[in-house]
Amino acid sequence: MARILIVGCGRRGIELAAKLQADGHAVRGTTRSDARVEEREKAGIEAGVGDPDRIASIHYSMENATIMCWMLGSAEAEDGSLESLHGTRLQMMLERTIDTTVRGVIYEGSGTVKAEYLASGAADVERICGKNEIPWSVVTADPADSASWTQSVKAQIDELLTRDRG
């Protein structure tokens, strides 16, 4: 099976991890807080502290990962860094995926973050992954409906894992 990396592994990420683990996948998830690591580890997630605003702190998490999920559509930040999480930081992370084992990217293109940031992020995913020939998908399911969101993301991961790259 595959190792799935969830960047921004919050409550919904933990629920998604359970579904992926049931299919035999290993799941690695990042959180910004040391205090949240134990909760993820109890859920069977390979947890690590990493801030997507500091790409170097999460870059190691991509080691041996097959799919990277950038799940920051409802991220919160006090310092106004949300635009960069869906702009320059996302771009930097995507550019670095070419030199890793990551062979699929899922971007959360819906949530509470400004629609313009999400649209820009989705366009960057399409452009950079397309250039690097890395399969990608954008999640548009409403994160407020956790069950439907989880099913949608899982289906997109399954599709990326089975896509014929001819």
Spell out the domains of the chain, with CATH numbers in brackets: 3-162 (3.40.50.720)
Mean pLDDT across the stretch 15-30?
A: 97
Average pLDDT, the chain: 94
pTM of this prediction? 0.94
166 — pLDDT class (breaks 50, 70, 90): low
What are 89-105's pLDDT values in tens digits?
999 999 999 889 999 99
d(CA 143, CA 96): 27
pLDDT for position 143 = 95
pLDDT for position 77 = 80
CB atoms within 10 A of CB 108: 29
Provide the percentage of residues in the chain whose pLDDT is more than 70.
97
pLDDT for position 92 = 94
Give the 3-state DSSP-derived string for 70-138, with helices as H, strands as E and coil as C: ECCCCCCCCCCCHHHHCCHHHHHHHHHHCCCCCCCEEEECCCCCCHHHHHHHHHHHHHHHHHHCCCEEE
